[in-house]
Amino acid sequence: MNTWNIIIEGFNKADITKHESIFSLGNGAMGMRANFEEDYTGDTLQGSYIGGVYYPDKTRVGWWKNGYPEYFAKVLNAPSWIGLHIKINGELLDLNTCLEVKNFRRQLNMKEGWYERSFTAMLPNQQEIQVKVLRFLSLRYDELGALRYEITPLTTDATIEIESYLDSGIKNSDANWDERFWNTLEISSEDNFATILAETKKTGFKVHTFMQNQLFIDNKTLNISPKENKKENYIGLQYELTAKKNQTFRIEKYGGYSRSNDYSTLTKSKTLSKSIALFDSLLENQREDWAHIWKTSDIVIEGDEKAQQGIRFNIFQLNQTYSGKYAHLNIGPKGFTGEKYGGSTYWDTEAYCLPFYMATKGAEVARNLLMYRYNQLDKAIENAEKLGFTGGAALYPMVTMNGEECHNEWEITFEEIHRNGAIAFAIYNYTRYTGDESYLKDYGIEVLIAIARFWAQRVSFSEEKQKYVILGVTGPNEYENNINNNFYTNYLASWCLRYAAEQVITLQKEGITKEETQQWLHIAQNIYFPYSEKYGVYLQQDGFLDKDLKPVSAIPAGERPLNQHWSWDRILRSPYIKQADTLQGFYFFEDHFTKEELQRHYEFYEPFTVHESSLSPCVHSVLASALGKTDEAYTLYLRTARLDLDDYNKEVHEGLHITSMAGTWLSIVEGFAGMRVKNGKLHFTPRLPKHWKSLSFKVIFQGEIKEIKL
């Protein structure tokens, strides 16, 4: 346990893919899993990703339904630049076939932004070697990464053959039609530098993947001219040398990506990566740049190392994923750590991530996140048109790369419409926190109007109830579909309609008739919310009480997570809630309800919640804190903060849960510290877990850095 580092010792083949996720690196523009540089024939998920470079993989479904998007965007496994084929006295280094691997250790230094791996291996030819590798992706030059690979022969003097390569013949492990997504256009090399120009199919992103090698023995530069090994989709530069027993050979390799339309970046990277002693100076930059990030984003917990390490890991990963520098990029649920969720944008950004970036990076960065949706408004209107909505109604996509919907399960694409509400809520949240009304006035209002138009058409009037109802939806709880009157969706719709109408009136927005805003207000006031008199709670949906209401504690331990043990059919009929749903509404609109109401709802829903979405425990933790249930809040906090480190949901091998990491931050700042913004001022209601000696953090609030110590 180390509060600034993640350290894992011991070589266990079954853990390789998990640890590839945990030790992932990123710099906001690109990222990679912690794959080995040398060959590895064991189980691995190879992954290097470039922000915004994706492929529209043609939808594959059993039965096509009108309205389905043509494609599911996939973040692309990008050409790899880290690879080294290494032979020691003619024997290939592959940890899967070594006779023994000792002292295997991985370390992620979160304070300085680098990753190190070391081991001693006995090769099948009885040669023992010691290896140490340091790798990082530069924050300062975000097209550039660097690695330093050291080999020391321990048995005898050794001939080392090393082929440093680029490979564009990579595939995605998740591809609907088992295709390759890249075409290689050009391969070239010059001395120790090589590059592959490759283009993505369909989307036409052209990317130069480059590498530059420098060799040393016992710290002295080795000038060996490489032999070129050029193949289709591949270029290797081969070197051969002898290292005496106990002498350390090292290769420093620089690599990365530059987009083809940006030759200056390639030239810059080429020049940069040729300069001698670059590694140490880049590493120094890296330390400085991470120190700068930590200055406003660190959270210090005294008296609890597990909790401390957890929150730092989360803050580190959030910063590896999104730097706020690029308006076209967003925060994929898995960041740059895996293929799942396609690297696309979900409601996670607005519902969970915005507050973190707003408070630790400032209003500009938060505004960029809002602008991302504003820039995609036309596409959201088109998306709604495809489903039959008219008159400028917008339905933002559940999953997107460029504004187009690219999720193709009907229950999510067509039904999980609550995402529209989170986008409106984020505008409100930003304005409330920053005090900056200009986004709302210049851009946000357009988004609010289009969203309100959607809700006004999506509701239907029930003669029976004499109320507006919303039929056939999926709420945040994806463990039930096609339900009617999901409380969360209905409440959000009602709030959106009212908020949009009020803003149109306040801003005296032209082009909207009074009748239209009156109708929005009328609907808002007359939306139906299912309620149980017996329990005194709003119901998650009309049929919730018909379920067999056994609490989660009644499920045998070996059957969780449910999604890995039960049939989908059984899950859908069960009362088990994947993630905060009604309580998500209580979280957003806390001040609309009394403490007693919150307590009743929390106590009603928590026993049915399995938290099988990473986005769940954080919300429950914030609410538990608000209710003074600090022990419970703490248990939920650990579950969110250490979800990946401790692999609660048994899926870390697929990648990290990046967006929920922002929720972890919320469970500390809004939970234990009880931070709220009321009338333009920060308020705190601290409720620290008993064993915490202190908690301190900073937030950027209305242009100033506020330092809080509890």
Minimum CB separation of residue 656 from ligand BGC in Å reads 11
| Whole-angstrom distance, CA of residue 275 vs CA of residue 280 | 11
- Residue 39 near residue 24, CB atoms below 8 Å: no
Among 226, 333, 335, 475, binds ligand BGC (CB under 6 A): 333
Q: Which amino acid is at 463?
A: E
Q: How far apart are CA 467 and CA 633, in angstroms?
A: 37
For residues 105-141, one letter each, b for 16 or more C-beta atoms within 10 angstroms of the residue's C-beta and e for the rest, the string is: ebbbbbebbbbbbebbbbbeeebbbbbbbbbbbbbeb
Contact window for ligand BGC (CB under 6 A) among 94-102, 294-302, 340-348, 443-451: 340-348
294 phi, psi to nearest 5 deg: -65, -25
Check residue 415 for interaction with ligand BGC (CB under 6 A): no
Nearest residue (CB) to ligand BGC, 164 versus 613: 613
Alpha-carbon dihedral angle through residues 336, 337, 340, 343, given to the nearest 10 degrees: -10
β-pairing, 100-109 vs 5-9, is antiparallel
- Helix/strand/coil (H/E/C) assignment for every residue in 249-298: EEEEEEEEEEECCCHHHHHHHHHHHHCCCHHHHHHHHHHHHHHHHHHHHC
Site for ligand BGC in 370-399 (CB under 6 A): none
Contacts of residue 302, Cβ cutoff 8 Å, sequence gap at least 6: 692, 693, 694, 695
The strand pairing partners of 190, in sequence order, are 193
Q: Is 286 in the site for ligand BGC (CB under 6 A)?
A: no
Q: Which of 137/406 has CB closer to ligand BGC?
A: 406
Q: Which residues contact 384 (CB under 8 A, 6 or more apart)?
A: 393, 394, 395, 454
Residue 618 beta carbon to ligand BGC: minimum distance, rounded to whole angstroms = 12
Distances 437 to 381, 451, 672 between C-alpha atoms, Å:
24, 19, 29
Burial 280-290 (b: 16+ CB within 10 A, else e): eebbebbeebb
Q: Which two tokens stand for residue 624?
A: 């538990």
Burial of 263 (0-12, 13-18, 19+ CB in 10 A): exposed
Cα 71 from Cα 60, distance rounded (Å)? 8
Pick between residue 48 and residue 400 the one whose CB is nearest to ligand BGC.
400
Nearer to ligand BGC, 127 or 659 (CB): 659
Specify whether the CB–CB gap between 193 and 199 falls below 8 A. Answer: no
* 322 near ligand BGC, judged by CB under 6 A: no
Our CB check for ligand BGC shows the closer of 457 and 563 to be 563
The yes or no reply on residue 341 touching ligand BGC (CB under 6 A) is yes
Of 304 and 581, the one with the shorter C-beta distance to ligand BGC is 581
Q: How far is the CB of 352 from ligand BGC (least distance, A)?
A: 9
Within 8 A by CB and 6+ apart from 425, the residues are 350, 351, 492, 495, 496, 588
Distance CA 142, CA 127 (A): 38
Q: Is 314 in the site for ligand BGC (CB under 6 A)?
A: no
Residue 611 Cβ vs ligand BGC, minimum distance, rounded to whole Å: 11
How many residues bind ligand BGC, per CB under 6 A?
12
Q: Cβ 170 to ligand BGC, closest distance in Å?
A: 25
DSSP3 helix / strand / coil % (the chain, rounded to 5): 35, 25, 40
Q: Which of 114, 181, 249, 346 binds ligand BGC (CB under 6 A)?
A: 346
- Could you identify the residue written with the tokens 């301190």? 696
**CA distance linking residue 90 with residue 317, whole number of Å:** 39
Stretch that binds ligand BGC, among 23-31, 346-354, 379-387, 554-562 (CB under 6 A): 346-354
Radius of gyration of the CA atoms of the chain, in A? 27
Asked if 476 is part of the footprint of ligand BGC (rule: CB under 6 A), the reply reads: yes
For ligand BGC, give the closer residue by CB, 412 or 708.
412
Does 481 engage in binding with ligand BGC (CB under 6 A)?
no
Q: List Cα–Cα distances, 708 to 298, 523, 671, 698, 701, in angstroms.
A: 11, 42, 14, 6, 12
CB atoms within 10 A of CB 671: 28
Per CB under 6 A, does 613 bind ligand BGC? yes
Least distance to ligand BGC from the beta carbon of 630, Å?
A: 27
Cβ 399 to ligand BGC, closest distance in Å?
8
Choose which of 94, 252, 348, 404 interacts with ligand BGC (CB under 6 A): 348
**Residue among 333 and 575 whose Cβ is closer to ligand BGC:** 333
Is position 665 an interface residue for ligand BGC (rule: CB under 6 A)? no
Stretch that binds ligand BGC, among 131-139, 276-284, 342-350, 585-593 (CB under 6 A): 342-350
- The CA-CA-CA angle for residues 665, 669, 671, to 5°, reads 100
Amino acid at 111: K
**For ligand BGC, which stretch binds (CB under 6 A), given 37-45, 51-59, 343-351, 554-562?**
343-351
Of the pair 657, 687, the CB lying nearest ligand BGC is at 657
Nearer Cβ to ligand BGC (308/621):
621
- Residues 555 to 574 in contact with ligand BGC, rule: CB under 6 A: none
Segment contacting ligand BGC by CB under 6 A, of 18-26, 344-352, 488-496, 598-606: 344-352
Return d(Cα 342, Cα 697) in angstroms, integer: 33
**Residues 576-595 as x/- pattern, contact with ligand BGC by CB under 6 A:** --xx----------------
* Binding status of residue 347 toward ligand BGC by CB under 6 A: yes
Strand duo 158-167 + 234-243: pairing = antiparallel
Residue nearest to ligand BGC (CB): 333
Task: Calculate the alpha carbon distances from 134 to 41, 214, 403, 657 in Å.
Answer: 22, 15, 38, 25
Q: By C-beta, is 239 or 341 nearer to ligand BGC? A: 341
Q: Is 615 in the site for ligand BGC (CB under 6 A)?
A: yes
411 as an active site residue: the answer is no
659 binds ligand BGC (CB under 6 A): yes
Q: Exactly one of 20, 37, 38, 478 is catalytic; which is it?
A: 478
We find the least distance from the C-beta atom of residue 69 to ligand BGC, in angstroms, to be: 16
Q: Which is nearer to ligand BGC, 236 or 333 (CB)?
A: 333
CB of 383 to ligand BGC, least distance (A): 17
In the complex, minimum distance from the CB of residue 571 to ligand BGC, in angstroms, rounded to a whole number: 13
- Minimum Å gap between C-beta 253 and ligand BGC is 34
CB of 660 to ligand BGC, least distance (A): 7
CA–CA distance from 245 to each of 199, 242, 315, 515, 709 (Å)? 44, 10, 43, 86, 54
Alpha helix segments (H runs only) across 73-149: none
Residues lying near ligand BGC in the complex (CB under 6 A): 333, 341, 346-348, 476, 478, 578-579, 613, 615, 659
Active-site residue numbers? 478
